[in-house]
Amino acid sequence: MVADDTLLWRLLRSLDDPDCLEVPANYQHRRARARFNQLAQRLDHDFGCQCEVDRKVEDASFHGRIEISATATGTLRRLVIVISNFGGLAVLAVDNPGVWTDQEAAQLLHPDDDTRIRRALEDLTYTLIPEEPLWQRYDGAWNKDNVSARVNTWWDRYFDYL
């Protein structure tokens, strides 16, 4: 996980294309979908369940969302992984994104669940980032004159519908 604030902001700003809102200029949907499907299959296997997978995402800055049922986790809560269209960024949330601070989520998350998810993300070269900094007001490079879309926070920029 990118935990260092300076590195995180450097990464977020480096991916912030002023002309491309939903996907970066070099985005390859088939490749992104294949990797996302591999992640879903890996989590199905690692958690011994059929994860709920949202692949029907349109008009968004994220590729998809994977939910692991509470009954399959040591955390005993639903775990949600959201994958951005930008830079292979990933966020892990307990219950749902935006519910808990990063510190609260870390306290709730069972270490075995954390390890399984981190390994799966790392093996597929996703970059896990903390959620809480993404709640800050967006002040990036995207040219708001190009499209009228709602980009108020860094979460909107990389992990939400636009």
Write out the two tokens for 24.
Answer: 């970066």
Q: How far apart are alpha carbons 64 and 159 in whole angstroms?
A: 9
User: What's the chain's Rg over C-alpha atoms?
Assistant: 15
Query: Considering only 58-72, 73-87, 138-152, which range has the smallest mean pLDDT?
Result: 138-152
Q: How far apart are alpha carbons 69 and 144 in whole angstroms?
A: 38
Cβ-Cβ contacts under 8 Å for 140 (sequence gap 6 or more): 12, 13, 16, 154, 157
**pLDDT reported for residue 131:** 97
Q: How far apart are alpha carbons 139 and 106 in whole angstroms?
A: 27
Query: Considering only 11-25, 44-58, 87-101, 134-148, which range has the smallest mean pLDDT?
Result: 134-148
Q: Count each helix (H run) and each strand (E run) in the chain, helices first.
A: 5, 5
pLDDT at residue 144 greater than cutoff 70: no
pLDDT at residue 49 greater than cutoff 80: yes
**pLDDT reported for residue 18:** 87
pLDDT tens digits for 28-40? 999 999 999 999 9
Q: Is the pTM of this model over 0.85?
A: yes
Q: How confident is the model at residue 4 (pLDDT cuts 50, 70, 90)?
A: confident
